A and B are shown apart, each in its own frame.
Chain A
Amino acid sequence: MPLGLASPRPRSAPSPSLRPRLAAVGEQSALSVNMEEDAFLEEKAFQHYCAEFLKHSQQIGDGWEWKASKDSSDGYLCKTHFQAKATARSLPGASTEEGETWFPMEEALEVPSDDSEVPMTAAATEVVRYEYHVLYSCSHQVPVLYFRASFADGRPLALQDIWDGVHECYQARLRQGPWDTITQQEHPVLGQPFFVLHPCKTTEFMTPVLKNSQKINRNVNYIAAWLSVVGPVVGLTLPLSYAKVPSQDE
């Protein structure tokens, strides 16, 4: 599980010339990574990778958009999708004094003797609207995934709902440190509450991916690679065709 990597060992501060950068369009190679150093993503490179990512999304109809900031040169990627969640709930009329009651499916199929209480249970699906934003963090020099979710009636999902909804294979890591993994934070452009996948470990798991691709002389789109790792934790998947997205104009 990528988010569970050990914390980095302390290093002495590198001199500026050794600091690697991911080159923007027009430069010879998309990556110039010194093998000893971590790969940080500069903002121009972030915007370039997003542009390439967007082109592919438009080709396959994957629904991503770029939202530019009104007051500055920055912006972010965004996508909305709907997901159906199956729930079993009792219909109004079957409630007791304490409020709504949940009946296990087997009980519901029994024919009740008393006509005045019919525990009707229906398997319903709740539609949840997810909105994902990919922003750039200049502090950590990595992309960050922000998202929010609400039911069809506009009710937002709570942090506990989000934690509960994290895919089974990531639950163990989440339970180790939920407050270090997914929390509610203020969206830095919109100022509204969003959930965030903490960026602290991003450089750690992206560095081997980028170094490896450089070794085999293959250009990788940072955003596609990163999103394919972090997205699934919070219900966002990328079609495999993104793996072929070039990182510069070919």
Chain B
Amino acid sequence: MRQEDISEIWFEYEGTPLKWHYPIGLLFDLLASSSALPWNIIVHFKSFPEKDLLHCPSKDAIEAHFMSCVKEADALKHKSQVINEMQKKDHKQLWMGLQNDRFDQFWAINRKLMEYPAEENGFRYIPFRIYQTTTERPFIQKLFRPVAADGQLQTLGDLLREVCPSVMAPEDGERKNQVMIHGIEPMLETPLQWLSEHLSYPDNFLHISIIPQPTD
């Protein structure tokens, strides 16, 4: 290819442009979970799909997007108090830890985002997004408290019944869908607070894929 013919890079899987601002594990679970690894995708250098994908002009765009997700998650968990109390250098450390794959550097900051006051039983609201390829809406995101009024810890099943009831139906029949996070199906009885602390993505969100049961 000639240099002048090359424009912004983008990726595609089976006709679907891949959103770079989504975690790659989420994209795989949502679009290709039943396929074998390594995941084969198509790399394009022309005809950027303006209507479908965000532009990624630089690394700054990725950092800005990541930090904006982290801030949104903290707005839900702590009314932004923890993230706002941090200095700019702490935000930078969080991003650099992720960018350079430095687990300890990342978690030195991230652990503060996973704490909650001793008198509470969890975060104020749980940062989550539920994805299904069958809907026009890209994801479902609502306010959901990890602890019920009676003090009981809410579970993954409770969340789905509340915000995405069609997934759970029929209650006693065979489920038509898989509920997947990080490539695994957590038990629906798992407390959401625990999932948020231990199974969130680096942006502090639980990204949950609802996919059809595989037919094999």
Contact = CB atoms under 8 A, between A and B. Distances in A.
Contacts of B53: 193
Interface in B54-108: 54-55, 57, 60-61, 63-65, 68, 71-73, 75-76, 79-81, 84-85
Contact of A186 (B54, B61, B73): B54
B189 interface: no
Nearest to A187: B138
Interface residues of B, number: 35
Contacts of B135: 71
B60 A179 contact: yes
Of the candidates B52, B54, B60, B142, the one having the most CB atoms from chain A within 10 angstroms of its own CB is B54
A139 B64 contact: no
Given A11-B81, A179-B64, A188 B139 contact: yes
B76 A10 contact: no
B130 to A, nearest CB: 12
B51 A198 contact: no
Given A191-B136, A193-B53, A8 B84 contact: yes
B48 to A, nearest CB: 10
Nearest to B57: A159
B141 interface: yes
Nearest to A70: B136
Nearest to A43: B143
B151 interface: no
Contacts of A185: 21, 54, 65, 68
B19 interface: yes
A138 B84 contact: no
Interface in B125-141: 127, 135-139, 141
Nearest to B58: A179
B50 interface: yes
Contacts of B54: 184-186, 193
B50 A193 contact: yes
Given A8-B84, A188-B141, A200 B71 contact: yes
A13 B63 CA distance: 29
A88 B54 CA distance: 30
Contacts of A190: 136
A185 B76 CA distance: 19
A10 B51 contact: no
Contact of A158 (B51, B55, B63, B71): B55
Interface in A123-156: 138-140, 156
21 contacts: A10-B85, A13-B81, A13-B117, A138-B142, A138-B143, A139-B73, A139-B141, A184-B54, A184-B55, A185-B54, A185-B65, A185-B68, A186-B54, A186-B138, A188-B137, A188-B141, A189-B137, A191-B136, A193-B51, A193-B54, A198-B68
Interface of A: 7-8, 10-11, 13, 69-71, 138-140, 156, 158-160, 179-180, 183-193, 198, 200
Interface of B: 19, 21, 50-55, 57, 60-61, 63-65, 68, 71-73, 75-76, 79-81, 84-85, 117, 127, 135-139, 141-143
Given A13-B81, A191-B138, 15 more contacts: A69-B137, A71-B135, A71-B136, A138-B142, A139-B72, A158-B55, A179-B60, A179-B61, A183-B65, A186-B19, A187-B138, A188-B138, A191-B136, A193-B52, A193-B54
